[in-house]
Amino acid sequence: MQTSVADTLSTLADAIDDLAAAGSVERVQRLVHSAARRLTDADGATLVLREGGECHYVDEDAMKPLWKGRRFPLETCVAGWSMLHGEPVVIDDVYADARVPHAAYRRTFVKSLLIVPIRSHDPIGAIGIYWGEPHTASSEEIAVVRALAGSTAVALERAKLMQEVERRRISEEDLRELSERDPLTSVLNRRAWDQLLASALRKGRQPLYVALLDLDHFKRYNDRHGHPAGDELLRRAARAWRSAVRAEDVLARYGGEEFAVLLAGCEEDRAIEIAERLRHATIDEQRVSIGIARWDGRESAASLVDRADHALYAAKRGGRNRVMLAA
């Protein structure tokens, strides 16, 4: 007898430890019904959650199928009675108790049962234990299932909180990502570009280049083909340019048909090589002019971009479709 009690307490302790470490509601659900069945040496166990005015039999571990996935009004099932009254239900003979919907049990193996609410005050669910032969739940069985139910309440609330925190974190990341992306081309927008450039200058990493790209005769293209075609051209150009830069380079839509690239950690010949690669990657028969400026280590972001802009317009004045390096 003492060994049996020791084994039961050890099983309960293991179950409580597992519940404390469970990181999701689904994991808690799987742990509860299997632990309940082991603790009582029963033929079946189920976890029921209270959802509005219904009992939701979310999961089970039983010798034969019971009601996994089904929902019943609180007033029509024994688990509902247990939750509404906040107390355990011990039924030796399911067909001799008026609280049992006999028709629902005739298709099952169940002869006796124990239902324990998850929390006595404002229960959030219940644990159901079932036997295929007549059985009267002992005070020890009731006690260990109540202990399991108490740990289940804490584990469920904790898992729900963790999932909500994770959901909000992902949502916040998504919102931040959306706020940093140009909705047309999906590259970084001007706001994100300004922040990243300022950050790079604060870090003082050398060498550092800024390249400005401007699609040649874009207004003429828009006038000839229409704005939807112009938008599609910008999208396709951005995709092509993304594949032409290094993973560490920063590509952004600076405004209109103008894009910007931040090239850090490469020397002049490498920066020009990347710029030429961008020029050649431009789609179809379109052409692009590119101006590049190297940061001198002291000037502001505005000054650096302004020098790249002057180099860009020098490229346009020189005949377009070329790369110009600022003096």
Structure tokens at 277: 């690669």
Contact between residue 320 and residue 287 where contact means Cβ atoms under 8 Å apart = yes
Contact between residue 63 and residue 109 where contact means Cβ atoms under 8 Å apart = yes
Contacts of 50-57 with CB under 8 Å at 24 or more apart are 50/74, 50/83, 50/123, 50/124, 50/125, 50/126, 55/79, 55/80, 55/83, 55/126
Kindly give the residue spans of alpha helices, DSSP state H, lying in the chain.
2-21, 25-40, 78-85, 102-105, 139-180, 190-203, 218-225, 227-244, 268-281, 301-317
Which amino acid, 13? Answer: A
SS3 content of the chain, % helix, strand, coil (to 5): 50, 20, 30
Catalytic annotation present for 54: no
Structure tokens at 175: 């919102």
Catalytic residue among 60, 75, 166, 257: 257
Structure tokens at 81: 């009675």
Give me the active site residues, please.
Answer: 257
